[in-house]
Amino acid sequence: MMTGVVRMMLLPLSWLYGLAAAARNSAFDLGVAPRRRTAVPVIAVGNLTAGGTGKTPLVEYITGRLAAQGLSVAVVSRGYGRRTHGVVVVSRRGEIRADAFTGGDEPVQIARKFRSASVVVGERRADAAARAVVECGADVIVLDDAFQHRSIERDLDILVIDAGADFLREKLLPAGMRREWFSGLRRAGLIGFSRAVRKDDPPWAGELRRWSDARSFAYRTVIEKFVTMPGDEPLGRAALRGKRVLAFSGIGNHGNFMASLRAEGVNVVEERRFRDHHIYSGKDLDGILEGAAAADACMTTEKDMVRLLADPGLMERIAGGVPFLYAVATIGMLRGEDLLEQAVGGVVKARRER
């Protein structure tokens, strides 16, 4: 946890970071930095802050809705945490070609969940998007974590903001978690308030009108089901109610995962927190198993499961002992579902009619 003194010491670096981010954005705004347009509609989902904001469940929601319309959807991202470079086709319409080490944990998670979709990763999003169209036959592209990656044109920019965070007080990197000046809000076509607890906007939302008049929707992340690992046997949400569980995760917002489990009546007797995208070692598993000696089960996230699955040695040790499960998350729309549906459907329809 960063102390107030450390934050103050880092503020000069934050100002320099902000100036660099502003200069980069100006280059794109003025056309100095090139932007490439794909042959298909592009919907981008991103945030203004680093760390977990509940963005991936929204990407999955949009992907599922588009796929349900019979469209060939490709999710394109950087593939953070992978050990490869360049463009990698993680999956092509259900054919999964990579694991968490070669494709990234979140891309593989999405590929496993949507077997009719394709997932492509690459440091250069424009190259990855082009590959998605040519090789995977994408009708529409969903860009994940791409609000600041402006080298590719998009038809709709959806900005995700954590409704439970003190967003307006967040400092720029590295003193805080904000990636650019608040003026970046002007690029948002829609604002999605994640982790909302009620339909109303957060109290500070009115202040955002200084920079953006984008309409908003609100949603929260909820647990859809629990699944065994290995085996992928789905269990109902009530299956672990009252059970003693050791919960562990290496995600952007561990606290939200704990709160979701407790909301389902899970008795979390011990928890282990790792950094986001953490690659588990045998020593990590030793500690988890030791802590789970008095527990009925070990619980983790879908994203962590993908990383564990990439190491056959760890999966072999998990099988046969204390039960291991992972929680599958989805979103519950509290407000603005029709607004989101119309915006997403509108860009697809508009590009088709050109």
Residues 211 and 322 in one domain: no
Tell me the C-alpha distance between 347 and 69, whole Å: 14
Tell me the C-alpha distance between 134 and 132, whole Å: 6
Position of tokens 């829609």? Answer: 190
Residues 152 and 14 in one domain: yes
For the chain, how many structural domains are there in total?
2
SS3 184: helix
Tell me the C-alpha distance between 119 and 112, whole Å: 10
Residues 88 and 202 in one domain: yes
Residues 276 and 307 in one domain: yes
* 241 HSE (CA, 13 A, CB side): 9
The β-bridge relationship of strands 88-92 and 215-229 is unpaired
Per-residue pLDDT of the chain (354 residues; tens, 9 = 90+): 567 788 888 999 999 999 999 999 999 999 999 999 999 999 999 999 987 788 999 999 999 999 999 999 999 999 998 999 999 999 999 899 999 999 999 999 999 999 999 999 999 999 999 999 999 999 999 999 999 999 999 999 999 999 988 899 999 999 999 999 999 999 999 999 999 988 888 999 999 999 999 999 999 999 999 999 988 999 988 888 889 999 999 998 899 999 999 999 999 999 999 999 999 999 999 999 999 988 999 999 999 999 999 999 999 999 878 999 999 999 999 999 999 999 999 998 887 766
Residues 110 and 231 in one domain: no
Neighbouring-strand partners of residue 264: none
- The enclosing domain of 278 has a CATH number of 3.40.50
Tell me the C-alpha distance between 199 and 136, whole Å: 38
Tell me the C-alpha distance between 176 and 301, whole Å: 26
Tell me the C-alpha distance between 64 and 351, whole Å: 20
Residues 270 and 198 in one domain: no
Tell me the C-alpha distance between 311 and 297, whole Å: 20
Task: Tell me the two tokens of residue 226.
Answer: 């629990």
Residues 83 and 226 in one domain: no
Task: Note whether 26 and 134 are within 8 A (CB).
Answer: no
Q: What is the largest CA-CA distance in the chain?
A: 62
The β-bridge relationship of strands 267-273 and 297-301 is unpaired
Residues 174 and 62 in one domain: yes
Tell me the C-alpha distance between 293 and 287, whole Å: 10
Per-residue pLDDT at 2: 67
Tell me the C-alpha distance between 148 and 24, whole Å: 10
CB count within 10 Å of CB 16 equals 12
DSSP letter at 13 equals H
Orientation of helix 55-68 relative to helix 105-113, angle to 10° = 30
Residues 342 and 325 in one domain: no
Residues 199 and 276 in one domain: no
Residues 6+ apart with CB under 8 A from 337: 217
Range of the domain at 273: 222-331
The β-bridge relationship of strands 215-229 and 190-194 is parallel
Residues 213 and 249 in one domain: no
Residues 339 and 271 in one domain: no
Tell me the C-alpha distance between 10 and 246, whole Å: 36
Tell me the C-alpha distance between 311 and 269, whole Å: 27
